[in-house]
Chain A
Amino acid sequence: MSVKKYIGDAWKGAASLLKGMRRTGYYFTHHKEIITQQYPDNRNELDLPERFKGEVVMPHNENNEHRCTGCQVCELVCPNGSIKVIFKNDLMPDGKKKKAIDKLVYHLDMCTMCNLCVENCPSDAIKMAQTFEHSVFDRNKLKKVLNKPDSKIMDGVE
């Protein structure tokens, strides 16, 4: 190995090291490049996209009515069995009995947010909410009943 090559290699190596140091030095002095989001502080500004899959919810209107007919498609399509539909018999005004949902139980702890239930729901009764702070101290709290108490099915939804 010639002396010239030795010195050349050493110089090239040192130059490459200095290049890296220039880069980190640039970021050390340019604080506006910082990309950290200060999460719990910026909760109000957090803008989650409307498609974000946080948890399954059932929207109700102002008369406490939902759109779920209890067709059980969500229960069938769920790969993990995290949805359970429990029925009751509603007494209709004309004296007939009608099958309706009593509870739509949703196990958030088993859900993988695959969105299959929402896609397959024929009456658009459930949708994905944009919440993501699901941690609780008791696992039972992740077992949710999606329909509100005393809620009824909306008129015209079959």
Chain B
Amino acid sequence: MYRETEIIKDFSTDGNGDMIINVGPQHPATHGVLHLVITLNGETIKKIEPHLGYIHRSIEKMCESLTFRQFIYVTSRMDYLSAHINNHACVLCVEQGMEVEIPPRAQVIRVLMDELTRIASHELWWGAMAMDLGAFTPFFHAFREREAINDIMEETCGARLTMNYNVPGGVVNDLHPNFQKRVKEFLELYKRKVHEYDELLTENVIFINRMKGVGVLSAADAISYGCSGPVARGSGVSCDVRKIYPYEIYDQLAFDEVLETDGDSLARYKVRVKEMNQSIKIIEQLIDNIPEGDFVAKTKNVLKLPKGEYYQRVETARGELGVYIISEGSTMPYRIKFRSPGFSNLSVLDKIARGGKIADLIAMMGTLDLVIPDIDR
């Protein structure tokens, strides 16, 4: 009756009881096609090996065959949750070489959209992370607010996720007449509902126990692995590009860089939740003070960047996105390199997950907020 199945053979060949298990590429907790090869001893994680490349579309190579106006739309497909901020980084980089004055209205519009995107991205992260932990209800509650942002985007930019709203010199078209009204409605909705986030997760004793002291990332490790964004700020590393290397009008805005020092999953969670409130603060400052004027600067139809190298970094919802362009003076970039935040953030997973349980790994992946197309590009 008894048959020796392969699992038993696995145990017997190794001798030490280790089990190698593939999480992904199709796994409900990896939110995409990330493939983790995990060495387990019982429930305890001994080693994690991320295998990438399942969603590699060679975006960097693709950009080399597109003009400076065309390549921007491709970058929406990298970190699709903060598509607008990706585009923003690219146009800023192109504008460096164009020597063009960006109208103040365009700057404010871009920043407003950036912050709305950031809230939408964090909102999705919040729901998805709760789902990873086994709580399904927060997901739908988070989507209710995210939907309001998506509707605003749809009305002004014409698309809900991959907006393509930025062009070199400004934005594609002016704000929709309803924009201010809709944003204020959203702010009111958000403030009415934000306490639910605390009630459902932040104060929940099960949630705190699941997150506290799990996946501790020290500040030194965060720096040496090149972490950025909420992951590094959860470890107490001040790295908000909006503060350190301000672009657009961020230096004129009053907002705080959220820092937590614990470095565990709970700290990363708190950073993101507080960041949503900071974004709300920025939107509140700007929404009634949008300057009049042009929304796009006059630029040449055929864009040619002078020969040289250009680098621009912005703060996306996941961390620091760098765009590096080498131009040979033609209409197309000679080489483009993206420094994506997700890749560096993923690389600490092995470091912080060792010794934890499988359930901890899921919580850690949730708080690292991985978007796989951003890692693979």
Could you list which residues of chain A lie within 8 angstroms of chain B, going by C-beta atoms? 12-14, 16-17, 19-20, 22-24, 35, 48-49, 51-53, 77, 79, 112-116, 119-120, 128
Contact = CB atoms under 8 A, between A and B. Distances in A.
A17 B147 CA distance: 27
B205 A16 contact: yes
Contacts of A128: 158
Given A51-B176, A79-B66, A114 B205 contact: no
Contact of A35 (B74, B147, B164, B172): B147
A23 B196 contact: yes
Contact of B173 (A12, A51, A116): A51
Contacts of B66: 79
Interface of B: 66, 69-71, 73-74, 137, 144, 147, 154-159, 162, 164, 167, 172-173, 176, 196, 199-200, 203-206, 301
B302 to A, nearest CB: 10
Instruction: Please give me the 4 A-B residue pairs with the lowest Cβ-Cβ distance, nearest first.
Output: A13-B205, A114-B73, A51-B158, A79-B70
Contacts, number: 67
Contacts of A53: 158-159
Contacts of A12: 205
Nearest to B157: A51
Nearest to A115: B164
B168 to A, nearest CB: 12
A112 B74 CA distance: 9
30 contacts: A12-B205, A16-B203, A16-B205, A17-B206, A19-B199, A19-B203, A19-B204, A20-B199, A22-B199, A23-B196, A23-B199, A24-B137, A24-B200, A35-B144, A35-B147, A49-B155, A49-B176, A51-B176, A52-B158, A53-B158, A77-B69, A79-B70, A113-B158, A113-B162, A114-B70, A114-B164, A115-B172, A116-B69, A120-B301, A128-B158
Contacts of B154: 48-49, 51-52
Nearest to A12: B205
Nearest to B198: A19
Contacts of B206: 17
Nearest to B70: A79
A79 B73 contact: yes
Contact of A77 (B70, B144, B162): B70
Contacts of B155: 49, 51
Nearest to B65: A79
A136 B257 CA distance: 48
A113 B160 CA distance: 12
Nearest to B147: A35
Contacts of A49: 154-155, 158, 176
A136 B164 CA distance: 26
B137 to A, nearest CB: 6
A23 B205 CA distance: 15
A12 B205 CA distance: 8
